[in-house]
Structure 1
């Protein structure tokens, strides 16, 4: 006799000599009864097998990864699905950047930070989900002016920023030019840098000769090729404006701004000095986040920060940061980076009196010139979206984003990115592209809610539009603080108060007042309106609410739908725990 079982554990049956016994078993194929008569054996043991419960279906989207922009990477687990009842089907979202959103392990080619979610469905219709976040590396390059004259870089969006050496020495690749070293030799006095992201060119300055020389730098090899001499002395800072395609240089000792011809290297001085205070300005960069881009400069000796008029060269004091910064650069979201002469990389918060914070305590970087190209939004002549407004409001345990487009040109749609305030680590939070209007010359209003926020935290949001060719432009950021929850329950004063049932209440709208309350935990809430004599006039809420802040409007009507008389009324909120709070409001006729 043979019996086959699967998904089993063992049950032990023991029979004595001469004993007849039958036993029933159940297994994947159904039940069965078998009998054994023992002859000639003292003891026989039968192992009967019984089924185990099915394993729980589990999805694994794989580990979070750091990748270079536009570099294909495989996502998903090993395996992506386990347990449950095979075979499995897979659905990845968003589908943007994926070669096959129905594969277990699709290939993703991200151009920006993105979180993918996989939904696994087994043969019995059971589903499981998991997420993976891809963070695109954004490289900030730095050049040094002292031996070993390295070219280094750091990923500014890494969770643990680490300095990477691209080239141990910046070398001169020709052509032979008097005042520059022989071809193949180390290029010294490299004191300024700027990047042209449109044409993928990196410019640097060498002050080895009697006048400053303009060169092109290969960011893969560290080899520089000469363009020409500027005719100006001691240019210590460079900045490139991709919108106007103009390169600017600044002589630190003269506080003089120049326009530099990128074909010949010749420099033309603007009519006015940046300042007449004898400053030593070393850092220069455009903030491309602003439109039009704004040119910033920083004084190494006293930390004065300037904005500079690119037509006249005149500087205006914008603030003061700490001393010692030799170069600055901006990311496309407006983050200001600065390299210190004590070999530390900082971020400077322009919203907090230009306070400087070490970017990474373990990171040392010698940055006479900083270069950053992280997908600037101002590179294309076509402006897919012109925004008329972009703002955020807190709602009931959520943040609502509102934006209005003045025009749209070949606009496919929008993405929303969120970061905890001050972290500058923006991650996409919308699961699918928010559909745009395509082409429009009239104003269109949009609204989107982020319900994955935490009470008591502050957030920054960026809005990204995507055109038909996949080009992206970011707007913002806008900031919003999510109110902390009360320790128990809180009832706020209604607004407007007093209000008119039939008149226009300004911010309150037409004949309405708004009553807000907040809960620390889920609770059943009763919100009622009473007359001055204690008579119940209206019931505005009688249901369960989750933790959070909520607003309910009242139009001045009683339960029968009649407009109440003018005068003093009270409103109260009550919970089963015995909490009872009251406030007064006044209705004008």
Structure 2
């Protein structure tokens, strides 16, 4: 996929965080700024937003609002800038956040406590990951990959990777012409896009940079990219589970497959809250197909009697783009295609 295609929409926030702004290519290589609207709640109250994050698996943009009592996660209507509350976490303070493309977990960054907060959006349960550095971070985003890497941009505009296991930061080298980066988003099939003095496309494997825009307004912060090409996804008719002698069987059917490489299955443990990729390898799909297809997967490693929640992840040739579920089962998931 190309960057800055007509199907893509780039959004940012005004300096005070109360206005949603759309960025678009203009004449002569310049970029135009168009106010979408002031950000309001469903009852019309004006809201101040600290962060934006794109959930490409559900084609949603979420917003972060810090309050005295805690943090609020909202779903943002990008046409009207109207925000609907999804989750409130009392006693938590966050400055930025990102959506895990496989599990749907929310990773939030707290600069005051130098830690990450990893939140299960289904239950509101969260765990803390202490960062091994006091480097102040401005924004974070996940790579779209089987085991996604969390990337961050720091106050000195340097780029880092962050381990969710031990909180260690690793410096990422990019071309020196990248200046003033303060916000990030990762687009499946495109890569990492950064908002700084200009808009940049960063190739993390080579360190090369593509400049996408002219000079940008320094008052803009945060970045969310909506790619409408990702909204045409494989159509899954159903996902369900049933108990068999071999364990819990997950079954699903597709009515149509679009650019579909295959599927993963992710399992969540109700007791520990841990998400785990349980498919030992990708269950291959049909690429592009208008024929109905049936799939099964048996989880043989789950413990009998424990409650698990499963998600089906659709993986295109550009990475994971859709998440189906949850499917809840209480028993212990070989893959086959009929």
Fold shared per TM-score above 0.5: yes
Determine whether 1:296 maps to 2:151.
Answer: yes
Q: Give the whole-Å Cα distance in 1 for the aligned partners of 2:95 and 2:32.
A: 23
Counterpart-to-counterpart distance in 2, 1:169 and 1:316: 37
1:329 aligns with 2:199: no
Residue of structure 2 in register with 1:269 after alignment = 127
Measured at CA, do residues 239 and 354 of structure 1 come closer, stay the same or move farther in structure 2, by a change above 3 Å? farther
Instruction: Indicate whether 1:314 and 2:168 are aligned.
Output: yes
In the alignment, the residues of structure 1 paired with residue 45 and residue 183 of structure 2 have an alpha-carbon distance, to the nearest angstrom, of 25
Superposition pairs of residues 58-77 of structure 1, within 5 angstroms: none
Listed one character per residue, the Cα deviations across residues 71-112 of structure 1 (whole Å, up to 9, x for unaligned) are: xxxxxxxxxxxxxxxxxxxxxxxxxxxxxxxxxxxxxxxxx8
1:156-555 equivalent positions in 2, closer than 5 A: 160=29, 162-173=31-42, 183-188=43-48, 190-262=49-121, 266=124, 268-273=126-131, 275-276=132-133, 278-288=134-144, 290-300=145-155, 302-319=156-173, 324-340=180-196, 344-351=198-205, 353=207, 358-364=211-217, 366-374=219-227, 375-376=229-230, 384-385=260-261, 408-412=284-288, 473-474=316-317
Match of 2:13 among 135, 143, 148: 143
Greater C-alpha Rg: 1
> 2:114 touches 2:130 (CA, 8 Å); kept in 1?
no
Which string of whole-angstrom CA distances, capped at 9 and with x for unpartnered residues, describes residues 212-238 of structure 1? 322221111001123343235541211
1:560-586 superposed Cα distances (whole Å, 9 cap, x missing partner): xxxxxxxxxxxxxxxxxxxxxxxxxxx
CA deviation vs aligned residue, 1:289-344 (integer Å, no higher than 9, x gap): x33322111112x233222223444333333666643220112224322223x6x4
Range with greater deviation from structure 2 (150-159 or 205-214): 150-159
Question: SS where residue 68 of structure 2 aligns?
Answer: coil
Flag the 1:346–1:228 CA change in 2: closer, same or farther, 3 A. same
**Could you list the runs of 5+ residues in structure 1 that have no partner in the other structure?**
1-111, 114-134, 174-182, 387-405, 414-437, 440-470, 477-589
Contact 1:256 1:269 in 2 (8 A): no
Aligned-pair CA distance for 1:345: 2.9
TM-score by length of 1: 0.37
How many angstroms apart in 2 are the aligned matches of 1:408 and 1:232? 43
CA distance in 2: counterparts of 1:209 and 1:195, whole angstroms: 25
User: What residue ranges of structure 2 are gaps of 5+ in the alignment?
Assistant: 237-256, 263-281, 295-313, 320-338
Q: Say if 1:287 and 1:334, in contact at 8 Å, map to a contact too.
A: no
Question: Corresponding residue for 1:30?
Answer: none
Q: What value does the CA root-mean-square deviation take over the aligned residues?
A: 3.9
Aligned pairs, number? 251
Change (3 A) 1:229 1:411: closer
What CA distance in whole angstroms lies between the structure 2 residues aligned with 1:335 and 1:198? 15
Contact 1:270 1:312 in 2 (8 A): no
Q: 1:318 to 1:308 in 2, by over 3 A?
A: same
Query: Could you say which residue in structure 2 is the equivalent of 1:435?
Result: none
Distance in 2, matches of 1:292 and 1:238, equals 18
